[in-house]
């Protein structure tokens, strides 16, 4: 879907917080004190310079990539989990 759209040369990966104040989300609901919406679902999104989201992954802690069935290369396994997510998202460009 998102990956089929034309992509610009400049891309970025950032955290997106989707506001959610309910109680039934279990461990997937995150708290980030620096965000305007402090409680919600934490996503990593790869966006183009015009703001279009081309790829996104729901953050699920250290098991994020395994939960989404995304394989890691040996180089990616040697880095921290957040860097792994950014590396995997950059590889879908």
> Each residue's pLDDT tens digit in the chain (93 positions)?
556 667 778 888 888 888 888 878 777 888 888 888 888 988 899 888 888 888 888 888 777 777 777 777 788 778 877 888 888 887 777
- Non-local (6+) Cβ contacts of 58 within 8 A are 28, 41, 42, 43, 64, 67, 68
What are the strands, taking DSSP E only, across the chain?
11-19, 29-31, 39-48, 53-58
């Amino acid at each position: 879907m998102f990956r089929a759209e034309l992509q610009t040369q400049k891309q970025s990966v950032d955290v997106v917080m989707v506001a959610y104040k309910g109680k039934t989300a279990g461990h997937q609901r995150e708290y980030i004190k620096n965000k305007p919406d402090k409680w919600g679902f934490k996503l990593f999104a790869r966006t183009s310079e015009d703001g279009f989201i081309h790829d996104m992954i729901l953050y699920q802690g250290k098991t994020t990539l395994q939960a989404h069935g995304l394989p890691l290369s040996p180089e990616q396994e040697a880095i921290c989990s957040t860097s792994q997510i950014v590396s995997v998202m950059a590889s879908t460009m």
